[in-house]
Amino acid sequence: MTILIRGGTIVTAEHSFRADVLCAGGTIAAIGPDLAAPHGTTIVDAGEALVIPGGIDPHTHMELPFMGTVASEDFYTGTAAGLAGGTTTIIDFVIPGPTESPLAAYHIWRARAEKAAADYSFHVAITSWSDQVHTEMGILARDHGVNSFKHFMAYKNAIMVDDGILLNSFARALELGAIPTVHAENGEAVFHLQRRLLAQGITGPEGHALSRPPAVEAEAATRAIAMAGVIGAPLYIVHVSTEGATSAIARARASGQRVFGEVLAQHLVIDESVYRNPDFGFAAAHVMSPPFRAKHHQDALWSGLASGQLQTTATDHCCFCAPQKAAGADDFTLIPNGTGGIEDRMSILWHHGVAQGRLTPQEFVQITSTNAAKIFNLHPRKGAIAPGADADLVVWDPAARRRISARTHHQNVDFNVFEGMEVQGVARHTIASGHLVFTEGDLRARRGAGRYIDRPCFAPLMQTIATRNALTQPAATPRHPPA
Ligand code: URP
Ligand code: ZN
Ligand code: ZN
Ligand code: ZN
């Protein structure tokens, strides 16, 4: 399939310029003014719109088995909804149980994801430690294109890991040229607060937020940064939701540590008042971890993105329908944690970011696509508009508006946390691997069209870190033997 995008303004992470883009054989074949269309080419008229790299959502959980149920969105429906919103690549999470093999789990997730409509890759969670896990991390990194390992500092009695596991796994990732990532919440503190709140008779969704106050995240982020720091490892912190964690990241970066922070579209625009809604279904639909916060945290997250202290945006897309959320009707600790957003992330970021004067269009491209591609070593295949890059492109109408609603979204979930918001900035056409998969509201996602994307270890940053660590190795002090 050959597609010519005619007449738009290309916006990359660096600059903007007017040019046509010719896509052939799944990649970008040419960029330039007035390109000729070979016979049979589909012409996509960009008009006054922008042409941007397809969005990368580096944090999703399609069909995740979690908290006694399975996320409602599968790899097909979830990636298809992403395409409708301009996201053309996801990085999902392989999450083995603490007694399960990470390598075996990886193969289970690969099989599940074969139905995906968009390209995908996997972070692998380390949920226990043994010689076998150490060995399997090597196999995943060297033979299976996994260059990031995830650690949950929360979810006690399930997938939480302690500091010993964090250190062992961070060190192993470093040796392999892979980047460690963490869900930063102090799981012991959460568990303690949950028991206390339930004993006090607080059983509703408000207990979820009360059991995970901002300090719980700031402490874990600070601790994870310190542990990465003492062994010379980089660190990527997923779903940063607080001022405290943002400051911890900024301090670490200022001191020369390689730390990255991800923000969810949801945390940027939704506040903690949702948990006080008298309607259980509404409040429970917002139960995710970390929870939504007081407004000043949102301001800190926006400042973090604008200043470059926070680098990526994601959704943690992990959908549960009302009957699933109802499992926690009498006990907030049993409400499956997760919210959706893959279809709306790009519009939320444009509307509240670019249209509100918080972000430049280039910064929008950085935080929705290019930065994730660089951190996770997908660049310049992904996150770039350049000859040879994958033809993952969005014709983005910066002025068009749409109203978000669960009644009209493509996501396989009965609730939308952005319900009723009118957003400016809409994907008019989405091209994935050179195919026109969404055009003027018509979703043409193809089941199984998505490809698994290998992410090799030793990205440029990891090479630099290895060099630095080799040059700064501690040495023993030479001494004469005692006389
Ligand atoms: O509430 C959330 N975020 N659910 C998905 C699992 C996780 O913590 O990322
Ligand atoms: Zn294998
Ligand atoms: Zn998490
Ligand atoms: Zn997650």
Looking at residue 182, its pLDDT comes to: 99
Give the whole-angstrom CA distance, residue 428 versus residue 446: 18
Q: Ligand 1 pocket: which of 289, 320, 335, 342 to mutate (most atoms <8 Å of CB)?
A: 289
Give the whole-angstrom CA distance, residue 192 versus residue 7: 58
Residue 30's nearest CA partner among 384, 388, 370 is 388
Q: In 384-415, which positions are buried (b, 16+ CB within 10 angstroms) versus exposed (e)?
A: bbeeebbbbbbbbbbeeebebebeebbbbbbb
Output the average pLDDT for the chain. 98
DSSP 412-448: SSS--TTTT-EEEEEEEEEEETTEEEEETTEE---TT
User: How remote is the CA of residue 404 from the centroid of ligand 1, in Å?
Assistant: 22
Over residues 419-435, the mean pLDDT reads 98
The yes-or-no verdict on residue 144 having pLDDT over 90 is yes
Q: Is the CB of 318 under 6 A from ligand 1?
A: yes
Over residues 110-117, the mean pLDDT reads 98
Compute the residue count for the chain: 483
Looking at residue 483, its pLDDT comes to: 82
The yes-or-no verdict on residue 161 having pLDDT over 90 is yes
What residues contact residue 258 under an 8 Å CB cut-off, 6+ apart? 234, 235, 461, 465
Which numbered atom of ligand 1 lies nearest the CA of 337? 1
pLDDT tens-digit profile of 429-461? 999 999 999 999 999 999 999 999 999 999 999
What percent of the residues of the chain are helix, what percent strand, and what percent coil, each to the nearest 5?
A: 35, 25, 40
Structure tokens given for 89: 């690549």
Can you give the residue ranges of every domain in the chain? Answer: 53-387+452-464
Q: Is the CB of 289 under 6 A from ligand 1?
A: yes
pLDDT tens-digit profile of 330-382? 999 999 999 999 999 999 999 999 999 999 999 999 999 999 999 999 999 99
Over residues 322-332, the mean pLDDT reads 98
Looking at this predicted complex, what is its ipTM? Answer: 0.95
Looking at residue 1, its pLDDT comes to: 87
Looking at residue 270, its pLDDT comes to: 98
Over residues 111-126, the mean pLDDT reads 99
User: How remote is the CA of residue 136 from the centroid of ligand 2, in Å?
Assistant: 10
Residue percentage of the chain with pLDDT more than 90? 99
Pairing of strands 435-439, 442-443: antiparallel
CB 77 within 8 A of CB 412: yes
CATH of domain 53-387+452-464: 3.20.20.140
